[in-house]
Amino acid sequence: MTAQVSGQLDGLDGRHVPVVVVGGGQAGLSMSWHLVRAGVEHVVLERGTACHDWADRRWDAFTLVTPNWQCQLPGYAYDGGDPDGFMTRDQVVAWLSRYPATFGAPLHEGVAVTALREAPGGGFALTTTAGALTADQVVVATGGYHQPVLPAVSQRLPDDVVQLHSAAYRSPEALPPGAVLVVGSGQSGAQIAEDLHLAGREVHLALGSAPRVARRYRGRDCVAWLHDMGVYDVGIEAHAGGLSKRESTNHYVTGRGGGRDIDLRAFARDGLHLHGRLERVSPAHGSAVLRFARTTAASLDAADAVAESIKDDIDRWIARQGIDAPLEARYAPVWRPPAPEDEDVDLDLHAAGVASVVWAVGFRADFRWVQVGVFDGTGAPTHRRGVTAVPGLHFLGLPWLHTWGSGRFAGVARDAEHLAEHVVRRAAPSRAA
């Protein structure tokens, strides 16, 4: 089968389509697979290409942090020769690019939706770069990471210091000579700091509150243990804190080199400079002095505590199930920072030779084009497993839409199947023959 890919008008302008899927990444394509299978007429509108986000917003040495066997889209599983390995950026792009053609996705690439409104007579009106169309139902599958965040203090850095968001980072060689400051220790920040450190660059890393997880424990990848334990099956409502779980930071670990821990203490032992949370930036004599909180030790200890608590959970699971798994010594810190009162909390960028700053402080969702009243006071869509209070408007591919894996390959297939049942049921009278 071949995907129906187009960036032209191709009859979209003025057309009515029973279902419009906005977004042609893994979430939108997963929904399309179910709709094709159910015979529901629809189109998938993608402003770029089906995998542009993977190609355009990941660095050269990027790898998945979850094993390849978790890459399970509807009707399309990872079929390479290394299921326990971790695909590189280019391998993910190649794998995902083949997906639309496997089921004849009605995919229109290069078509951006600029406005979505409720239509006066019912359904929805969409304004796109390929014209206007209407739909009975819309599935918004654009993810939740739209606008890279640059904090206000970035404006106080000297003009000669190169600044970029983690989404724009590509490689150590693409940055100017000199030391690099990475702000943020989530998945991207920790992995970019590792990338720079392994390349021999002098690196400063401002730590946040991100937890970490061991890559392997007691003979298996921790992801495999957590999968068997059902951790990825727990809905958000069942978690302590409920919907606030959506604000959680993911654990840092890496798939690089076949997969391993990211041990920031080991990096510090080998010369990487760790700092606490960035508090303020003060311009000074053509440079800037950055002040960090005295939180380095607390951040490292908290991240280690999470990693060890996950091992505790795995130990209990192994004992309950009577599994014969090898014992393993627990992590012992290989480096400790100075006591908080002895921390050097100031960093003069020019004096330290810092020529570039990578801001790894996250993204902001931007649903301003969805002009329908389904958002809370923070601009996040309100929904239950992707179903909103406005009949026919759905969301898919959001972080923690239902479970930990909802925004990733690990859980998007299940979310798509659940949501497709709602879409197909509403579309039943207008199914394509």
Chain length of the chain:
433
Domain that holds residue 284: 151-359
In angstroms, the Cα distances linking 413 to 95, 104, 166 are: 16, 18, 27
34, 424 contact by CB (below 8 A)? yes
Last residue of a domain, which of 331, 359, 387? 359
Do 75 and 177 reside in the same domain of the chain? no
| DSSP three-state, residue 247 | helix
- Domain boundary pick from 302, 328, 359: 359
Q: What angle do CA 290, 155, 168 make, to 5 degrees?
A: 95
In a domain, 339, yes or no: yes
In a domain, 88, yes or no: yes
Cα 266 to Cα 72: distance, rounded to the nearest angstrom: 34
CA dihedral 155, 156, 161, 165 (to 10 degrees): -40
Within a domain: 8: no
Same domain, 175 and 35: no
Average pLDDT over residues 222-251: 76
Q: Does residue 137 share a domain with residue 220?
A: no
Q: Are 281 and 156 in contact (CB under 8 A)?
A: yes
* 124, 269: one domain: no
141 and 170 inside one domain: no
Q: Report residue 430's pLDDT band, with 50, 70 and 90 as the boundaries.
A: low
The pLDDT assigned to 319 comes to: 98
Give the closest residue to 370 by CA, choosing from 379, 361, 378.
379
2: exposed, middle or buried (Cβ count in 10 Å: 0-12, 13-18, 19+): exposed
Is residue 2 in some structural domain?
Answer: no
Residue with tokens 């923690």, as numbered in its chain: 400
Do 290 and 415 lie in a common domain?
no
Interval 51-104: pLDDT, tens: 888 888 899 999 999 999 999 999 999 999 999 999 999 999 999 999 999 999
According to the model, what pLDDT value does residue 406 have?
A: 80
- Considering the domain architecture, whether residues 135 and 162 belong to the same structural domain is answered as no
Distance CA 187, CA 210 (A): 8
Q: Read off the pTM.
A: 0.92
- State the total domains in the chain: 2
Q: Which residues of 401-424 are buried (b: 16+ CB within 10 A; e: fewer)?
A: bbbbbbbbbbbbbbbbebbbebbb
Task: Kindly report the CATH number assigned to the domain that includes residue 398.
Answer: 3.50.50.60
Average pLDDT of the residues of the chain? 92
Of the residues 359, 383, 408, the one at which a domain ends: 359
Q: Are residues 224 and 335 in the same domain?
A: yes
Q: Which residues partner with 354 through β-bridges?
A: 179
Task: Flag whether 7 is in a domain.
Answer: no
| 201 and 336, same domain (yes or no) | yes
346 and 369 part of one domain: no
CA distance 54 to 25: 9
